[in-house]
């Protein structure tokens, strides 16, 4: 991410690279964990969150395990 994108991400804001066609392989969105939690908190309980780790091939994606609230 660019310095501006990192700053925005660190402020728990959504970062979207939208100057490309949606769905194109270069379109990207980065969601800080607190941003994501805020969006889903009324509808889902977080059972597990794994932050992606650096690997020899690059950075893994995070994964979340959620359960719908009743």
First vs last C-alpha separation in the chain: 38
Q: Are residues 69 and 38 in the same domain?
A: yes
Residues 63 and 44 in one domain: yes
pLDDT by residue (tens digit) across 41-67?
999 999 999 999 989 998 898 999 999
**In this predicted model, what pLDDT tens digit does every residue of 4-34 receive, in sequence order?**
999 999 999 999 987 877 667 778 889 999 9
pLDDT at 21: 72
Q: Report the domain count for the chain.
A: 2
Instruction: For residue 5, give its domain range.
Output: 1-30
**Tokens representing 1?**
């991410």
37 and 50 together in one domain:
yes
Looking at the fold, whether 56 and 68 belong to one and the same domain comes out as yes
Interatomic CA distance for residues 8 and 31, integer angstroms: 10
């Amino acid at each position: 991410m660019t310095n501006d994108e990192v700053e925005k991400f660190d402020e728990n804001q959504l970062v979207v690279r939208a100057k490309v066609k949606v769905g194109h392989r270069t379109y990207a969105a980065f969601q800080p964990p607190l941003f994501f939690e805020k969006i889903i908190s009324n509808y889902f309980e977080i059972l597990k969150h794994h932050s992606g780790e650096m690997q020899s091939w690059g950075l893994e994606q995070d994964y979340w395990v959620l359960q719908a609230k009743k």
